[in-house]
Chain A
Amino acid sequence: MYKLNKDIYSNEPTSVIRLSDNACIPFDPANTDYANFKKEVLAGAELQDADGNVMTDASAYIATLP
């Protein structure tokens, strides 16, 4: 499971928290954990918004990420 993490300056998500270990994963396509995050969410893993609400449109959101 993952939870979006908002940037304190832009107030937009620029990273995601992997809830199994609380790792903060930046939205960098070269980051292996980020690639796994996108793969897992597209395969059905739960994604929460920054407020902790489960996103029902997670796959569509993933498609907007770098």
Chain B
Amino acid sequence: MPVIIDGTNGITQAGEFNSSGSFGFKNRIINGAMVIDQRNAGASVTATTVTVYSVDRFFVQGSVTSKFTAQQSSTAPAGFTNSLLLTSSAATTPSASDYYYFAQSIEGLNVADLGFGTANAKTITISFWVRSSLTGTFSGAVLNSATDRSYAFTFTINSANTFEYKTVTIAGDTSGTWLKTNGVGILVRFALGAGSSFLQTANSWGTGNVVGATGTTQWISTNGATFYITGVQLEVGSTATSFDYLDYGRSLIQCQRYFEQSYNVGTVAGTATSDGCALSGGSVGGATTGYIEGPAYFKVTKRASPTILNWDLSGNVSKCNRTLSGVLSTNNSTSSIATIGTNAFSVNSASSANANIIQIQWTASAEL
């Protein structure tokens, strides 16, 4: 989209120039630069049969547990500081019903303008930097929430252990049901390996619940294979534009709509610490009975009422630190969570002994 300034024509601009692709929320992928890792602080996670989150908003899954790991990496191309690193844990040959992938679900509210499922569906372009110990043709897929509309795409890695920039352009789907709500609007998957049941022909819309395209590299089949990715961007239009860098604070806020914790960023949940803990009581909650409760407020409104986990200050799950007036505080005290909403929840503690303060650490997950 070059803009030319000269003495003859003044200011001219070639190529598509549109507000949705040029201003505001250009990149529909959140944390595409892989800088936010609230849960794991860079530690590795192992893919299982259920979704497991590595860096914020990106999850991994495999039909067989423990076949690969994922973690935030500081290996990155120029202009980036982090990437998502996948490492194969075994030489796994997928059966027809096997699948191994990483993905991000984009909220429907954030892609409602794309018009998928209508005659006015817009073309999208996905771009990213990728590096692998393997070369060849790799693949991924774009799906709707019901996983009954899908488009498998491919990209080629030419040189081993070298970051390469890739772009994929996809004509918007004019069929199917694509949510424009707080549910899954678009699911973007990157295949690490799959059997025939989870692959389909590349570059056309289909109806399979797939992770990638037929005939592409089975990365999962090489023990120790690595795959780095960063700068992931999904934007409106047929041209990949420069990565939409956000300041760290705004990236964190975007991620916290889906996951937030009371712990400091970089502290793994369950760590024994009082830093950042929610505190209730004092002069307001001073108890004359054995019961005390109070709220914990989120910094960012959640996509949905989130799942809550809580710990005391020693890392005991589902417990609180309970302070009796004039007495030292006690960890491993009973606690219960209630009234979970998109902005707050309450924690309560009942005991035969009076208390005037309770403290907890917590995580709140409203992932798609």
Contacts and interface: CB of A to CB of B under 8 A. Distances in A.
B308 A23 contact: yes
Interface in B271-311: 293, 303-310
A57 interface: no
Contacts of B182: 30
Contacts of A32: 367-368
A24 B340 contact: yes
Interface string A12-38: 001100100111111010111110000
A24 B308 contact: yes
B304 A31 contact: yes
Contacts of B368: 32
Interface stretch (B33-41, B61-69, B242-250, B331-339): B331-339
A8 B336 contact: yes
A14 B308 CA distance: 13
B75 interface: no
B304 A7 contact: no
Contact of B336 (A5, A25, A30): A5
Nearest to A29: B304
A14 B365 CA distance: 17
Interface residues of B, number: 24
A14 B348 CA distance: 15
Interface of B: 182-183, 293, 303-310, 317-318, 336-340, 346, 348, 365-368
A33 B365 contact: yes
A44 B337 CA distance: 26
Interface residues of A, number: 19
Given A5-B336, A7-B338, A8-B338, A31 B366 contact: yes
B309 A24 contact: yes
Nearest to B363: A23
Given A8-B293, A33-B365, A28 B338 contact: no
Contacts of A7: 338-339
27 contacts: A5-B337, A7-B338, A8-B293, A8-B348, A9-B338, A14-B338, A15-B337, A15-B338, A15-B340, A18-B307, A21-B309, A21-B317, A23-B308, A24-B308, A24-B309, A24-B310, A24-B337, A26-B305, A26-B307, A28-B305, A30-B304, A30-B305, A30-B366, A31-B305, A31-B366, A32-B367, A33-B307
Contacts of B306: 26, 31
B183 A26 contact: no
Nearest to A31: B304
Given A8-B348, A31-B366, A22 B338 contact: no
Contacts of A18: 307
A29 to B, nearest CB: 8
A23 B309 CA distance: 5
A31 B304 CA distance: 6
Contact of A31 (B293, B307, B309, B337): B307
Nearest to A18: B307
Contacts of A24: 307-310, 337, 340
A3 B305 CA distance: 18
A23 B307 contact: yes
Contacts of A31: 304-307, 366
A25 to B, nearest CB: 5
A34 B318 CA distance: 19
